[in-house]
Structure 1
Amino acid sequence: MTARILIVEDEIFVAMELEAILEDLGHQPVGIAPDLASAERYYDQPLDLALVDLNLRDGLTGPQIGERLDANGVPVVFITANPRQLGEGIAGTIGVISKPTDAATVAAAVRYVLARRSGEKVSPPAALTLFPRAIAQG
Structure 2
Amino acid sequence: MTLRILIVEDELLLAMDLEDILLEAGYVVAGHATDMKQAIALAEGSGSRIDVAIMDVNLARGSNGVETAGVLRRRWNIPSLFLSGNLDERTRALASEWAPIGFVGKPFSEREVLKALSCVEVVT
TM bracket (short chain): 0.7 to 0.9
For 1:5, what is the secondary structure of its paired residue?
A: strand
- Note if contact 1:5-1:51 (Cα within 8 Å) is conserved in structure 2: yes
Aligned to 2:80: 76
Q: Show structure 2 runs of 5+ residues with no match.
A: none
Matches within 5 A, 1:1-138: 1-44=1-44, 45=46, 46-71=49-74, 72-84=76-88, 85-90=90-95, 91-94=97-100, 95-114=102-121
Q: Please state how far the C-alpha of 1:13 moved relative to its aligned partner.
A: 0.5
Give the drift of 1:59. 2.1
Residue identity matched to 2:91: L
Letter of the structure 2 residue corresponding to residue 61 of structure 1:
N
CA RMSD, 1 decimal: 1.7
Structure 1, unaligned runs of 5 or more: 119-138
Higher helix share: 2
Higher relative contact order, chain-length normalized (CA < 8 Å, sep 6+): 2
**Moved beyond 6 Å, runs of 4+:** none
Q: CA deviation at 1:60?
A: 4.5
Q: SS in structure 1 opposite 2:120? A: helix
Q: CA deviation at 1:112?
A: 2.0
CA apart distance, 1:107: 0.7
Count of matched residue pairs = 116
Aligned residue for 2:18, secondary structure, equals helix
Question: For residues 99 and 73 of structure 2, what CA distance do their matches in structure 1 show?
Answer: 6
User: Take 2:118 and 2:61, find their aligned partners in 1: how far apart are those partners?
Assistant: 30
CA contact (8 A) 1:9 1:34 kept: yes
TM-score normalised to structure 2 length? 0.85
Paired AA for residue 92 in structure 1: W
Q: Helix, strand or coil for the counterpart of 1:43?
A: helix
Check conservation: 1:77, 1:93, Cα contact below 8 A.
no
Q: Cα offset for 1:47?
A: 0.6
Name the CA distance, whole Å, in 1 between partners of 2:78 and 2:24: 22
